[in-house]
Structure 1
Amino acid sequence: MQRQKHRQNSVDTEQNFLFKEKTNTIAASRRLVKKLVAIGFSHACRHRLKLDESLFVDRQCEDITVKVLNPFAAEMEDSTTARQVSVWLKKIFEYIEKGFLQNIVLAFYSEKGKPETTIFEMFKFIVKDSALQLQMKDENDPIKFEKGDEFNLKKSVTKMLMSMTAKMRAMPKMPKKYYVTMRLTTSDEFQKCDKTDEDIYCDGFTPEKEAVSMFTAENVFTEDVHSTFHKFRVRCLRTRNFPGTAAHQNDMKICAALEERAKKRKREL
């Protein structure tokens, strides 16, 4: 019954989803970053994972309506992928709040069990603290904005959302069979925390110091937003040999041949 209540509350349309408050404190700026991450992550899941449309809710951001994943709805789905994505998103929010988060990587790969070598597309969400934040003693202390600061921030956010939405819609179809993994690069704050506290981990998710990488990557798009206290970047990378292309099939043959050669040498030893 409680879950139904959560779901009902989360589907109400919100006006000014991103800018309900001025971002002149660290806490308010962090809340903006959380929402930007939620939008970018939701876009990637909606367009690349093809999750059910009922899992997304409309949010009004200035003159743009965006789809945002509702984690409470996703956690109740029969889909294993939807439930896992819900867990990931909630943990991302927690890490941002605690200052643990540096990079988020949502990576798609073609061979089961081989995310390190067969990634063909990835989305990176990068969160960085500004130099000014390090000088602040209290995250709720407001600073005085210069004239036009808030307007320029809204303008850059709108530009990012419009560009990201258009470019994701134009992306090629995903292959019939693929897998997804989530990796985070953690900040120095995470290294200081108590690793015996099981609450910092979650099923299907392992924080690591270094995130996965991809060879022969091409930049699909990169969008940045800078608030007073944070820098946020969303970036999409794709291999030149996207699954289904002749170049990709040739690469897979080469990889298979190299693996077979390595196994043969091991047997001979």
Structure 2
Amino acid sequence: MATAQRSHTGKKQKPAKESLLFPPKIATEQQSLVLVKRLLAVSVSCITYLRGLFPESSYGTRYLDDLCLKILREDKSCLGSLQIVKWIQGCFDALEKSYLQMAVLAIYTNPKEPQRVTELYQFKFKYTKDGPQMDILSVGGSPQMRVSSDEVKKGSILLIRKLYLLLQHLGPLPNDVTLTMKLFYYNDVTPDDYQPPGFKEDSSPESLLFDGDPVNLKVGSIATGFHLLKVRVTTESKRMRELGNSLVQENGPTEISHQGLDCVEEEEGCNTRV
């Protein structure tokens, strides 16, 4: 897929009516699931749009405060965008079943070496019952505080804003890149034969190798009391422009194994499927 860096500011012209992206209240598991699914869809859409991966026709427009968001839609004239939409729907299926531990959207340049990536985006999920909590860009630990539905929504908007800010400050990708998505599951609850729509068993679940000097960036995390979502980005250091130090983590190893991808923080196992 040929790419061209987008330089949109994300500002909107005030519409007559704002589009509702997130549920007005987040007090039940179903409302939390809706929020997490939309955060994932919006994030992946932002990534593909601001990294210039698909044409304008592949996106619809939604508004979030003063941000004009481009959301992927089923564009039959662009097979790549259709595939991404199928991947997102597959993630939804795994989220609904509480199977999905992490989704990794990886970008690589050599079709013969899909394990050698040049940029990747991690979306890690946990399923909790601890009541509404939020942790946005925590530094030196994981402090949490009890919050209301409004605060969870504000945190979700902040997460999208920070992702937008990061993407707008990254240098362009190579001219020709290819996307892949890998899913990791909680082994203790996921059936061995489970395959979400749009995915198949990974025939070569080898470690990903980063092509270049990687920089790991933490975008943030959001917890609703039912779900926890963390967003991380790894990119080539030469694509970095002026970013706040709070976004930058220590450089990761050249080889990004499952654990290097933040797949296992505790004792849960995970399978890989693409």
TM-score range, shorter chain: 0.5 to 0.7
Residues 122 and 31 of structure 1, relative CA distance in 2, 3 Å threshold: same
C-alpha change, 1:48 and 1:152, in structure 2 (3 Å) is: same
The aligned runs of 1:207-222 (5 Å cut-off) are: 212=208, 214=210, 216-222=213-219
Taking the aligned partners of 1:60 and 1:119, their CA distance within structure 2 comes to 32
Distance 2:102 2:192 in 1: 20
The residue number in structure 2 matching 1:202 is: 198
| Cα distance in 2 between the residues matched to 1:147 and 1:132 | 10
Aligned residues: 209
**Structure 1 residue 37 corresponds to structure 2 residue 40:** yes
1:41-64, Cα deviation, whole Å (9 max, x unpaired): 111111235212122122233454
The residue that corresponds to 1:256 in the other structure is none
1:128-168 deviations in whole A, cap 9, x for unaligned?
Answer: 112438xxxxxxxxxxxx99512221221121111111211
Structure 1 residue aligned with 2:117: 119
Q: Give deviations 1:78-125, integer Å, cap 9, x for gaps.
A: x33222212212111111112121111111112222122x21110111
User: Aligned with 1:159: secondary structure?
Assistant: helix
Does structure 2 retain, via aligned residues, the 8 Å contact 1:183–1:208? no
Aligned equivalents of 1:90 and 1:115: distance in 2? 22
Matching residue of 2:72: 69
Aligned residue for 1:132, secondary structure, equals coil
Cα deviation code 1:239-260 (max 9, x no counterpart)? 3366xxxxxxxxxxxxxxxxxx
TM-fit CA distance, 1:17: 1.4
Match of 1:160 in 2: 159
1:165-221 per-position Cα deviation (integer Å, ceiling 9, x unaligned) = 121112111111222211011123663x361x7x63536774998874647421234
Q: 1:62 to 1:188 in 2, by over 3 A?
A: farther
Cα distance in 1 for partners of 2:203, 2:149 equals: 34
Q: Post-superposition shift, 1:36?
A: 0.3
Change (3 A) 1:63 1:154: farther
Paired residue for 1:101?
100
The amino acid across from 2:90 in the alignment is K
Q: Offset at 1:35?
A: 0.3
Equivalent residue letter for 2:196: I
User: Which one of the candidate residues 26, 29, 48 is aligned to 1:26?
Assistant: 29
Structure 1 residues 214 and 200: alpha-carbon distance in aligned structure 2, compared to 1, 3 A threshold: same
Cα pair distance change 1:154/1:83, threshold 3 Å: closer
Contact 1:42–1:68 (CA under 8 A) maintained in structure 2: yes
Q: Which structure's residues are more often helix, by fraction?
A: 1
Give the 3 Å change call, closer, same or farther, for CA 56–156 of structure 1 in structure 2: same
Show the 5 A alignment for 1:42-61: 42-61=45-64
Provide the C-alpha distance between the structure 1 equivalents of 2:53 and 2:105, rounded to a whole number of angstroms: 14
The alpha carbon displacement at 1:33 in A equals: 0.3
Distance 2:96 2:63 in 1: 23
Q: Residue 182 of structure 1 contacts residue 205 of structure 1 at CA under 8 Å; is this kept in 2?
A: no
Structure 2 SS opposite 1:180: strand
2:110 is the alignment partner of 1:150 = no
CA distance in 2, matches of 1:38, 1:49: 17
5+ long unaligned stretches in structure 2: 1-16, 132-144, 240-274
TM value normalised by structure 2:
0.66
Which residue is equivalent to 1:87?
Answer: 86
Q: Choose which of 21, 42, 60 in structure 2 pairs with 1:17.
A: 21
Unaligned runs of 5+ residues in structure 1 are: 1-12, 134-145, 243-269
CA distance in 1: counterparts of 2:184 and 2:203, whole angstroms: 6
CA RMSD of aligned residues (A): 3.0
Cα 1:181/1:57, change in 2 over 3 Å: same
- Any conservation in 1 of the 2:215–2:234 contact (CA below 8 Å)? yes
